[in-house]
Structure 1
């Protein structure tokens, strides 16, 4: 049994999507990010109390990047990883882990805009700086995609399931209209059958209450 511990519309969607791309049978165990269920016993699976956590082969893995590398090596016949010594290996690893640079910006903005119990504690200066940094990662991703359909020149890979998910969260903070390459890429990945199956199993997100969160005014 493969069991994915999952919060809808969170980093764990990356693993949910990859499992579908690999065609594996698995169970999804859902959690709510607000109800305290990621504390206590769950921390025996993921010490920081964060999803994803993946039970597989009698062990538990956490950290979505590590899970991606493990799954792609374990099910290498699917061709979603890039083996050492192959031409795209360096770019694959680069894209796989650049996903967390972008996701870190999204996480900080989530905290500032959405998860502070007292909204007055949010810092307009921090929001402005992190929003600019997020926009910078989007520009970098746009350049990575120039002249190709996916993040690697030789086709779709697990780097796309890691990085691609960010493009469904980033638009809450940065409009994607200025990035036509990213818009086209997002359309391609969302049209994949495995993506559609994963989204059907994802569940409804409950933390974004607006379509867009602008940078607040920092002064008069």
Structure 2
């Protein structure tokens, strides 16, 4: 059985959501970043971590890609143009949305106080919305890649959820509607329920 280490209120949400969508059993240790349980398996102290037997996997996108490939769901097949396009969109979300949100988080709480520059946050909010507007023009259907829900949807929706929690106002109505539709998926709701425990 898979074991996920990391609080659901983090990028661990992506891994838990993928496991729920794939119907795979798992055990959750909701350890926070930099906790002893995390440091025991990941020297960076970052979450999430997925263990499978003795194997340890880190990085949420690497983990969900592995799970999707292994279980034959949430992804176009490796070596296809559809997969290359899916990977390009996923990497774009990481570069243009996730990285912006993480920069704001670092300047809010992650960096030592004397290294934080809170004045950067309005610029990051502007950049996030500019990037989101550009991304919205490339969404191909009800899902990022068209008619099939993929791991790209997991990453994009998680970034939208993160933006809400970080008080980044999302100004694009189509993206607000998309996020609401993705959050209505039963697998998403099951993981969201874990955050209330």
Q: TM-score, normalised by structure 2?
A: 0.87
Q: Does 1:157 align with 2:154?
A: no
Question: Are the counterparts in 2 of residues 131 and 173 from structure 1 also a CA contact under 8 Å?
Answer: no
Paired position in structure 2 for 1:211: none
Rg bigger for which structure? Answer: 1
- C-alpha displacement of 1:20: 0.4
Q: Which moved more, 1:188-197 or 1:55-64?
A: 55-64
Residue of structure 1 equivalent to 2:48: 52
Query: How far 1:87 sits from its partner (Å)?
Result: 4.5
Q: Pick closer, same or farther for the CA change 1:86–1:117 going to 2, 3 Å.
A: closer
Residue pair 1:98, 1:163 contacting (<8 A) in 2 also: no
**Any gaps of 5 or more consecutive residues in structure 1?**
205-220
Match of 1:74 among 70, 77, 80: 70
Cα deviation for residue 193 of structure 1 reads 0.6
Gaps of 5+ in 2: none
* Cα distance in 2 between the residues matched to 1:60 and 1:115: 24
* Aligned positions of 1:12-23 closer than 5 A: 12-23=12-23
**Count of aligned pairs:** 195
TM-score by length of 1: 0.79
CA distance in 1, matches of 2:32, 2:39: 15
C-alpha separation between the residues in 1 aligned to 2:82 and 2:29? 34
Q: 2:58 matched to 1:62? A: yes
Q: 2:38 aligns with which of 42, 56, 77?
A: 42
